[in-house]
Amino acid sequence: MSARKEVILSGIRPTGRLHYGNYFGAIHHFLRLQQSDATCFYFIADYHALTTITEKTEIYRQTLDMLRTYVACGLDPAKSIVYRQSDLPSTAELSLLLGMITNIGHLERGTTYKDKMIKIQDDPKIDGNPLSYGLLGYPVLMAADILIVKADVVPVGDDQRQHVEMACDIAEKFNHRFGCEALHRPRAVGRDALRLPGLDGSAKMGKSDNNTLDLLDDPKTVLTKIKGVVTSTDPLPLDTDSNDPDQVIPKLPGGLSVLYRLLNLVAPEEVYLDFLQQYRDGGKFYGNLKKAVAEHVSKFNEPIIEKFNDPANNDDFIMDFLRENAKKVTPVALDTVEACREAMGIGRSLYRG
């Protein structure tokens, strides 16, 4: 028998347009992993997107557009199994089963829930949304996503690490409590994820903070956004001689850190080094720096925009591969859910055959 191939799983919520934080934090890694031998599952977490809604949404449309952007970035739905979470409705069943063994106290310590609670305390009127049962159960649903496909590795950024650890705990508890091996525990969490600062100089680029640079931004938008980055501090002496971006960039003041980070990601190394030298030399060069960053960002976006708009990259194409890929994950998912039903004692479903 051949050894089981390693299973990698990751999900992104359909938040609309993909930004540079998504790209360099996640998609960039998906593209690399897609070249490996592993089985890669990448899904759009549309159920998770429902945990905070207050009215009818455009999640379906946003999901299709996100997938068109994935494809434009080079994600190949023939190599990676790309699907919509809600096309695997047995995830909801597994989430229900896992919920039976999850303590509320554990969930109340979940970061997503806690953050929302703090936001509501700060501003009780905030989008009229009370804390929902679905939001409290966010980590259980996420555990179901991970465990249902028997993932070995779950590459996520720091902010999602706690959720993946909760999934490991839930799997362990389930197997222990029911004396079974129904759930496969992920072996590893994490990736060397880059946390890209926001254009406003804040710690993280994120859609809800309105500080993103998007992969589909046209050159004019890019220039406007980059010009808007605040660079009010004149160059200050840097207490390092290193040119290593991870050493130097965090030492740069405010908006300059995001400009240099972008330059380092999308421009040739000599351009980044040249501007770093100019910083060390002092002087007035921020205008040129911004122009260079905007130019390289637009150059990076150009082929993505072109492939996004390619007539072949249309809704029919997306729906066809979603259908095909849902068919590929479903047997694995049903195997997990049925094993859990059996382990808990309700027995296998009588209608699935």
Using CB under 6 A, which residues numbered 150 to 209 contact ligand TRP?
154, 156, 160, 163
Using CB under 6 A, which residues numbered 128 to 157 contact ligand TRP?
142, 145-146, 154, 156
| Span of 3-11, 30-38, 198-206, 309-317 interacting with ligand TRP by CB under 6 A | 3-11
Catalytic annotation on 204?
Answer: yes
Q: Which of 5, 79, 150, 204 is catalytic?
A: 204
Please identify, using beta-carbon distances, which residue of 45 and 326 lies nearer to ligand TRP.
45
Helix axis angle for 254-266 and 286-308, nearest 10°, is 50
Catalytic annotation on 79?
Answer: no
- Determine the Cα–Cα distance for residues 346 and 342; give it in Å rounded to an integer: 6
Q: Which of 5, 79, 207, 291 is catalytic?
A: 207
Please identify, using beta-carbon distances, which residue of 82 and 266 lies nearer to ligand TRP.
82
- Determine the Cα–Cα distance for residues 43 and 12; give it in Å rounded to an integer: 7
| Span of 9-17, 184-192, 235-243, 313-321 interacting with ligand TRP by CB under 6 A | 9-17
Using CB under 6 A, which residues numbered 23 to 82 contact ligand TRP?
45, 48
**In whole angstroms, how close is the CB of 221 to ligand TRP at the nearest point?**
25
Catalytic annotation on 207?
Answer: yes
> What are the phi and psi torsion angles at 344 (to 5°)?
-80, -15
Residue with tokens 């896992």: 98
> What are the phi and psi torsion angles at 83 (to 5°)?
-145, 170
Burial 120-133 (b: 16+ CB within 10 A, else e): eeeeeeeeeeeebe
Q: Does 11 bind ligand TRP (CB under 6 A)?
A: yes
Structure tokens at 311: 């007539």
Q: Which of 7, 8, 9, 334 binds ligand TRP (CB under 6 A)?
A: 9
**In whole angstroms, how close is the CB of 226 to ligand TRP at the nearest point?**
26
CB-count exposure of residue 250 (10 Å: 0-12, 13-18, 19+)? exposed
Please identify, using beta-carbon distances, which residue of 12 and 249 lies nearer to ligand TRP.
12
What does the DSSP assignment read for 215-249? Answer: TT--HHHHHHHHHTS---SPP---S-----HHHHG
The SS3 call for residue 147 is: helix
Report the residue number whose CB is nearest to ligand TRP.
11
**In whole angstroms, how close is the CB of 49 to ligand TRP at the nearest point?**
9
Q: Does 84 bind ligand TRP (CB under 6 A)?
A: no
The SS3 call for residue 44 is: strand
Using CB under 6 A, which residues numbered 254 to 283 contact ligand TRP?
none
**In whole angstroms, how close is the CB of 163 to ligand TRP at the nearest point?**
6
**In whole angstroms, how close is the CB of 283 to ligand TRP at the nearest point?**
41
**In whole angstroms, how close is the CB of 240 to ligand TRP at the nearest point?**
32
Amino acid at 323: R
Residue pair 222/294 in contact (Cβ under 8 Å)? The answer is yes
**In whole angstroms, how close is the CB of 167 to ligand TRP at the nearest point?**
8
The SS3 call for residue 48 is: helix
Nearest residue to 81 (alpha-carbon basis) of 124, 43, 53: 43
Please identify, using beta-carbon distances, which residue of 93 and 145 lies nearer to ligand TRP.
145
Residues in the site for ligand TRP, rule: CB under 6 A?
Answer: 9-13, 45, 48, 142, 145-146, 154, 156, 160, 163
> Which residues participate in catalysis according to the annotation?
116, 204, 207
